[in-house]
Amino acid sequence: MFKSAELDAMLARVQRSQDLVVKTNYAIAARSHSGPASAWALHPEADEFWFVRRGAAKLTLGNYSFMMGVLGSGTQQFTANAGDVVSVPRNKAYQLDAPGGRFDYIAVRVFPAQRHLQAGATPPTPRPMPTIAEKSKIENILAESNQNVMLHSAGAVLINQVVYDRAPGPWEVHMACDDLYFWRLGTGKAQIDGTLVHAKEEQPGEFRGFGVTGSRDYTVGPGDFVLIPRNTVHHMDGGDAKLGYVLVKICD
């Protein structure tokens, strides 16, 4: 788990990029860009999802080929701001321009192009997110909804805007998926790890129970980042508070 202040302090020290987590199927990096337009960047090995922490930048996306490089036709420009979530597919080149100062973000890099589940339900119908999911729209959904709202479903990644409306979440374990929580709304208690009490397999590879023993307990709030590896018990409880976060679920 990374507290919000820890993430910001880490990003303040980053010159360009620093790995936070590296696994065979995904990686998480803290990145920063400042000043005029960067050189074009390519990441054909990964789809990327950026969680912008600070600043604003102009993002240009372009098509490319390994024979000809970045193609002049078909480029698109967007503005990314603090609190936005940005999608940069593996088939796009990108360029950042932040003349107004530092542009800091957490990049989730997903290597599998498709979802090949060893366990779990059939993947939902593909529904890729727009290039920019704006902070105001995400916060409005979390504040007003009483149930989860999908943001992205494609390849090995599912992104949900998750809401616990003044009710605790389940005690659960995912056998084939890693969960990344980017917390946005409310302060709650997270129980992570330990042993599930009276575990029952509700769906293939998806277990739920009535409690947990031997867990590590944390207080989580806006700006925090929680990583829950597969095969790990977890439970969220906000008490009388409404909880909301952006969940990145990586299943391969």
Q: For residues 107 and 121, give the distance between their C-alpha atoms in angstroms, rounded to a whole number.
A: 27
Whether residues 97 and 169 share a domain: the answer is no
CATH, residue 238:
2.60.120.10
62/144 same-domain check: no
Minimum mean pLDDT among 58-67, 105-114, 126-135, 152-161: which range? Answer: 58-67
Task: Single out the residue in 110, 140, 162 at which a domain terminates.
Answer: 110
Q: Do both 155 and 227 map to the same domain?
A: yes
Q: Which band of pLDDT confidence, cut at 50, 70 and 90, is reported for residue 203?
A: confident
Distances from the Cα of 172 to the Cα of 105, 121, 182, 192, 204, angstroms: 30, 15, 18, 10, 13
Same domain, 95 and 20: yes
pLDDT at 10: 93
Q: Rounded to an integer, what distance in angstroms lies between the CA atom of residue 82 and that of residue 223? A: 11
> Per the domain annotation, does 225 fall within a domain?
yes
pLDDT tens by residue, 1-46: 899 999 999 999 998 999 999 999 999 999 999 988 878 888 999 9
Would 13 be classed as within a structural domain? yes
pLDDT greater at residue 123 or residue 20: 20
202 and 236 inside one domain: yes
In this structure, are 247 and 171 located in the same domain? yes
Residues 100 and 180 in one domain: no
| pLDDT, tens digit, 9 for 90 and up, residues 89-103 | 998 999 999 988 899
Instruction: Tell me, yes or no, whether 74 and 158 share the same domain.
Output: no
93 and 152 share a domain?
no
Domain that holds residue 186: 132-251
